[in-house]
Every structure is written in C-alpha cells, then in structure tokens.
Amino acid sequence: MNLERRTVDVDAIRARHPLPDVVAAAGIELHQRGHGYMACCPFHEDKTPSLSVGGVPDRFHCFGCGASGDVIDFVQRTRGLDFLGAVAELDGTPGHDRSLSVIEPRARLRVVPATPDPDIAFARALEINELAWQHFSTPVAAGFASHYLKNQRGIDVEPLSRELFGTVLVGHATHGWSTLTDQLRSGGVEDEELVAMDLAMRTRGGQLVDTYRNRLIFPITNERGEIHGFIGRDLSGHPAAPKYRNPTHTPVFDKSQLLYRPAHPGLATNGEVLVVEGALDALAVAAAAAATGTTHRVAACATNGLSASPAHVQQVLSMSTRPPRIAFDGDTAGEQGVARWLLAASIERGAPLFVTRMPSGVDPADWLASHGPNGLRDLLAGPVQDQDGEVPGTAVPGREVIRLLLDRVDDPIRDAVEIVAGLASQLPAAERAQLLRDSAAEMTRHGWNPHDVYSKALHYAMREQGSPTVPMPPVASTPSLI
C-alpha cells in the first residue's frame, strides 16, 4: 500500500484506534478521571500522573513536559516514526509492527477504575498516615533504612536523629504486595480510605495492593510533626521503576502546597535555606548540617521535582531573611528547574535568589557522599565570578534573569531596570555589584545596551532609591527609562 499524506483520513484513523487503547497498549497504566484518564507521562521522568488522556476527546496532554497531540502524534513520539510511519503502524501496513493494531479495541485497555473519594476528615487522614508511618518506621524498617543510607549512599542520619530526640527520619517499605494494606485493614482502615490516601491501589482484578513497595520512605511532615504524605525512593534499580514515588492529591496533601523538610528545627533569622530537587538531597544536607553542628544555620527543603508554585516560593522566602539558594542537579532538567524558580521568585515576586551550580551529573547528595559533611561548605560558599565545573559554584544569576525577562516583556530596558534594581537593593555589596555587572553584560550581548543606555539607566534607578551601586561613567543628563 502506497501511503500519501494527502490521502490519509485522520478522523478515520482516530476512530479506528481510540487513543486510550493505544496508550494502554504501550504498557502505560491509565487511571480514570472524570471523562478521561490520567497516567504517568512516558516522555519525561514523571513521578506522579501528569498525562491527561482523552480529557479532551482524542487528545493527550502532559501538564509536566507539555507533550500533546492525537493518537498519531502519540505513536510518532513513542516509536520514533514520522507521520506516515505512525499511520502505517496503527493500521498494520505490511512491513510495519502490527502490535498496536492486532489487539481488539478495548480488550487491551488496562484501566484502574476510579473510586469515589470517601469523605475523609482532615484529622482522620492524618491519623491514617500516622498508622502507616508506624508500619514503615518499625525498629527493623528504620534500622534497614539507616544502614542502607549510611553504607550505600554515604548519609549518616544518626547525628540528626539524636539532635531531634530520637526522631525516625526514614523508613522502609518491603517487597510485599499487600503488607501495609493488611496491617492497616487490621487496624480498622477501610479499603476506600486506603485508596483515597494513596496508600493502596486496585489491580485490574479489583484487589488492593500497596502503593509503596521496595522503597525508602520519607515522611512529609509539618512543624507539629503531623504527616501529610510519603515519598518513596526506589531501591530496586529497575529501569521501569520511577526513582521517586510522590503522593498524589489526598485530603491532606497537595504537591503545589507542600515541601519536604527532613526536620523543622529553629533556624536563625539569617540562616541559609537550600532548595534541592529530591528527598535524598534534602536529607543529605540536613545530616551534614547536624554532623557539623550547623543545624540552626542551614535548612534544606525539597520540591519533590522541579516545580515552583507560589506556595513553594512563599514558604522558602519566609524561612530566612537571606536569599535562598537553589541547588538542583547538574543536568538539563536542573537548569530548567532553576529557570522556573527565577521566574516565580525573582521576576514575579522581586525576590533575589542565589544559584549553586553542581558539577555535571552530580546532585547534592552525591557531592556530600564523596566529600563528607564538610562538603556542605562548598554548597554554601559565597558567589564566585568564574566556575571551573569541578566543584559547586554559587552565582548571582544576573544573566539568567535578563534572558528570562527578554522573552516576556515589551520594553526590555525599562522592565530590566525595574526588576534588576529591585533585586540589587536587597543584596550585600559584593553580590549587588555582580548582579549589576552581569545584567549589563547580558543586555549588551543581546543589543539592549547601546551606548551604555541600560547601564546608565540602572545606575540612575539605584541612586534614586538610595541604594549604593558600582562606579559608572559620568552621566551628562538624566537617561530615559523607556
């Protein structure tokens, strides 16, 4: 059959191959939500379901990475095919893999049916989580987790645990399929409650199995020690297993509202706040602070990914009078996460951030495992002008702020002056000077500083608000800010 694009009836293709069927045939588990389904996105490392399938008829969309399209687009992405190749794949054209087309529609659809959420009171939800934590944190489970962290990841949690009067910081979920489910059922927890609290899920046969299996368990707590959810870090190393398993939305957990903090000790008003990606990174930083006697000076929190919701930003900014540091992994995803935080905090809220850049392929937990607790000093060092890439280097992200601004504003000079001057006024002298210099250099690189017009306008704005600035060439007349 000779396929030509102009002869392809796309509507007929969609009708013959319902999108949910094809997604399920690719081995992706679908969870029914309203008129469509949700699933973990196969196009990026998705820790909680962010792929909507069929919410808009015949379309998929990932709220995490932005991937979207119809059934043909899905096959193109997952199989690495062009448009005609994807059509041939779906219709089973000779010479193409027929695995998507030979299975009868609906027979291949593997859906976890939606269960109506029971009306669980806030206090009851916290009670159920506490019962689950008692299971995850038995002496045997906690001992296994502590031993694993110390011997396999170089994280000794004992000093931090002693400092917190014996608090258990990490637990363990065994290989058992229904160990937690059976335990909580015996304690009076109903099946619907287990599902609603994301502690169990239903199989295709309707049986309940544990959500967390073969994972380290990190409780997400508030300042009173109440548990809002659990983060599970995979121990199997299986390529199909997500590295982290974060809780879904429950009566007491909303990922856009909560951060993971290993502990909530009193932090000095000018203490250092380090924002990292994963729970393991945050625990490694907190353990290193306890080992070096600086718990009251250093607080670590994890975003459980790379998001930067308004609530996340507000919580981080309220923890200290000093600008927080963003220390994401040294990879492309980490850079994208830094950009989200700069946009949410510096551009939208006018709050300065420091960025601690990790060596390529290294995260904070890796660095501390290699260099011991004293390696924390490298993560918290003062900003440097040049970074060799071999050690963590902290920067005032003036260039990055300008690049983000130029993509979003109508009047680059006026808006850059307003944002940068506001950020600079909140920084110590050395960091202020670096921000001003780097922002001017980046504006010059993009052609927005002809004859130093941006530099002079920035100098004038800083002088007007009474903020010290770096020496600038004499200004003959008041520059226009527009």
pLDDT, position 92: 64
pLDDT, position 387: 63
Average pLDDT in the 290-311 region? 91
Architecture of domain 272-395: 3-Layer(aba) Sandwich (3.40)
CA pair distance 232, 47, nearest whole angstrom: 10
Average pLDDT in the 71-95 region? 79
User: Residue 372 pLDDT more than 80?
Assistant: yes
Of the listed ranges 71-80, 104-113, 301-310, 386-395, the one predicted with least confidence: 104-113
**Residue 371, SS3 per DSSP:** helix
76-83, long-range: CB within 8 Å, 24+ apart, which pairs?
77/43, 78/26, 78/42, 83/5, 83/8
Residue 66 CB partners (closer than 8 Å, separation 6+): none
When the pLDDT of each residue in the chain is averaged and rounded to a whole number, the result is 86
Of the pLDDT bands very low, low, confident and very high (cuts 50, 70, 90), residue 64 is confident
Of the listed ranges 122-131, 237-246, 443-452, the one predicted with least confidence: 237-246
Average pLDDT in the 470-477 region? 43
Of the pLDDT bands very low, low, confident and very high (cuts 50, 70, 90), residue 7 is low
pLDDT, position 382: 84
Domain boundaries, given as residue ranges, for the chain: 5-112, 122-245, 272-395, 402-464
Average pLDDT in the 380-401 region? 84
Percent of the chain with pLDDT over 70: 88
CA pair distance 140, 276, nearest whole angstrom: 29
Of the pLDDT bands very low, low, confident and very high (cuts 50, 70, 90), residue 29 is confident
Which CATH superfamily, name and number, covers 5-112?
Zinc finger, CHC2-typedomain (3.90.580.10)
User: Residue 354 pLDDT more than 90?
Assistant: yes
Of the pLDDT bands very low, low, confident and very high (cuts 50, 70, 90), residue 386 is low
CA pair distance 391, 357, nearest whole angstrom: 9
Of the pLDDT bands very low, low, confident and very high (cuts 50, 70, 90), residue 358 is very high
pLDDT, position 98: 41
Position with higher pLDDT, 46 vs 181: 181
User: Residue 274 pLDDT more than 60?
Assistant: yes
pLDDT, position 26: 77
Of the listed ranges 341-345, 424-428, 478-482, the one predicted with least confidence: 478-482
Neighbours of 178 (CB within 10 A): 14
Residue 271 CB partners (closer than 8 Å, separation 6+): 296, 297, 298, 299, 319, 320, 322
Average pLDDT in the 469-478 region? 44
Average pLDDT in the 386-392 region? 75
Percent of the chain with pLDDT over 90: 59
CATH for 122-245?
Answer: 3.90.980.10
User: Residue 68 pLDDT more than 90?
Assistant: no
Residue-wise pLDDT tens digits, 102-126: 333 333 444 444 444 567 999 999 9
- Spatial contact of 373 and 292, defined as CB atoms under 8 Å apart: yes
pLDDT, position 150: 97
pLDDT, position 102: 34
Nearest by Cα to 323 from 354, 280, 366: 354
Residue 109 CB partners (closer than 8 Å, separation 6+): 20, 21, 24, 30
User: Residue 368 pLDDT more than 70?
Assistant: yes
pLDDT, position 303: 86
Type of residue at 456: K
pLDDT, position 105: 37
pLDDT, position 86: 85
User: Residue 38 pLDDT more than 50?
Assistant: yes
